[in-house]
Chain A
């Protein structure tokens, strides 16, 4: 399956959700790197909100607006220092209607 199709598929799902985005304060950051590790690269496939994508230099970038705050990326990539993960400020981020 092409990346474009899966991206559309996830965006359709995330569109159902309610978020309060904290502008200019992303709660996840990827440390600058030359080549991503296997775990960081895996996030481009396994992040359930598809927050991680490869740029044309082969580096991983993140946009955390659709993040559901599950912590999968933190479990895989925080210890190695490849990502910096904090919770959004109080009241911001995903707001589940049903959970």
Chain B
């Protein structure tokens, strides 16, 4: 039974919860963080890429002891059909810098480290504790939580909902709606272990350099989806995700897509001989700006995936999570400093600060992309990848056909598949949504 009343209760020990708890505890607030997993990270799943700048703003010297896998020097974007990939890649020695920009991480290890920092900052972290309900005052203000542990409610001035994409508390309390099937992707992933020197040979890496492949195309079977392969130190994280609404409609099985991706001739040699040690599944918020729910109210704020803060176009989630958690913490510190109550009017400061940050500005930029990709998934994930592959092969294969005829055949294939008007309208709509 916890008698103490806290300045803040943080529900969840993922990226956003840890950022919020650390920010508040390090400024002297009394913070209780509740995590339902056996240890912080045991319920958390991510690709995973971690963005240094956003963590530096919370823990500037994180590189001293954080469990980082590889810093990224190369990114490959692939458009795949069943037997080929057409690619664009960027690799730069500039990414071999004193303070690298992006790292691959393994969440269970990273989150344990982050949680240690949270405890060192002075927060109380209680694991194996599922929060079952928000406690509200007669006027409706959130004043605490009930858990599945023995004892009564635990009280706090404010509750930070960092409960993840599938958070039950906020939706059950009517603070936000459940994500729509077209606003979340289901991703499945496997961890493939290989000796570090094998990974370095296969991807042309030295030391702690890392490489990322992101691939779209016929592997998602006309669903809106993306596959990925990230190099860790001694393992490869590999997976595929598609919109839940598309899965429900096509009834494709995610593990079949994953195995097809692993067996694709462009991927199979990269993971040959690996030992698989884990299979995981997770939802990813994909709705963008238009899917952001109410972010604050009397006695509560929502951060990270619980608030749908994920940039699907740039595949960024953990940095939006960390930043929203930090900003929520800073807003709460500011309100407390003014001796003001944690009511809706004052907690609006969190949203004001978040709106000024890259988090909301980036999501705003791509606000029309989710709808465009969803309604055109067959063209973008099936027709165009096949056309691109045919065009590339037609260009490269030497078979005595005059080049002018080859070009005409490629052009005709595009027009046959999408019509002149369809091609123009696809380009225009994509450009408008990207703008």
Contact = CB atoms under 8 A, between A and B. Distances in A.
Tell me, yes or no, whether A binds B.
yes
B186 A72 contact: yes
B253 A46 contact: yes
Contacts of B127: 90-91
Contact of A98 (B38, B148, B191, B282): B191
B148 A39 contact: no
Given A72-B244, A75-B283, A89-B130, A10 B255 contact: yes
Interface residues of A, number: 41
A67 to B, nearest CB: 9
A76 interface: yes
Given A68-B281, A72-B244, A95-B42, A46 B252 contact: yes
A76 B255 CA distance: 19
Interface of A is mostly: loop
Contact of A97 (B148, B165, B277): B277
B276 interface: yes
B406 interface: no
Interface residues of B, number: 54
A61 interface: no
Given A39-B248, A75-B184, A99 B106 contact: yes
Contacts of B252: 45-46
Contact of B43 (A17, A39, A49, A69): A69
B248 A76 contact: yes
Contacts of A90: 36, 127-130, 147-149
Nearest to A49: B281
A99 B111 contact: yes
A39 B181 CA distance: 11
Contacts, number: 141
A94 to B, nearest CB: 7
A95 B38 contact: yes
B251 A45 contact: yes
Contacts of B179: 75
Nearest to B177: A79
B358 interface: no
B253 A75 contact: no
Given A13-B279, A74-B178, A98-B191, A91 B247 contact: no
B50 interface: no
A98 B36 contact: no
A33 interface: no
B253 A45 contact: yes
B424 to A, nearest CB: 35
Contacts of A72: 186, 244, 247, 281, 283
Contact of A9 (B191, B244, B259): B259
B298 interface: no
Interface string B17-52: 000000000000000000011100111111010000
Interface string A24-67: 00000000000000110010011011100000000000000000
B148 A89 contact: yes
B168 interface: yes
B279 A14 contact: yes
A17 B178 CA distance: 28
A95 B37 contact: yes
B248 A6 contact: no
B280 A87 contact: no
B251 A46 contact: yes
Contacts of A69: 43, 166
B253 A71 contact: no
B299 interface: no
B158 interface: no
Contact of A17 (B108, B184, B247, B278): B278
Given A96-B42, A96-B44, A48 B254 contact: yes
Contacts of B181: 75-76
Interface of A: 1, 6, 9-10, 13-14, 16-17, 20, 38-39, 42, 45-46, 48-50, 68-72, 74-76, 78-79, 85-91, 93-99
18 contacts: A10-B255, A20-B38, A46-B244, A50-B253, A50-B255, A70-B281, A71-B283, A75-B179, A78-B178, A86-B168, A88-B36, A90-B128, A90-B129, A90-B148, A94-B43, A98-B107, A99-B41, A99-B45
Given A9-B259, A45-B252, A98-B235, 8 more contacts: A1-B256, A20-B38, A49-B281, A68-B282, A69-B166, A71-B283, A75-B184, A99-B108
**3 nearest interchain CB pairs?**
A71-B166, A91-B128, A99-B107
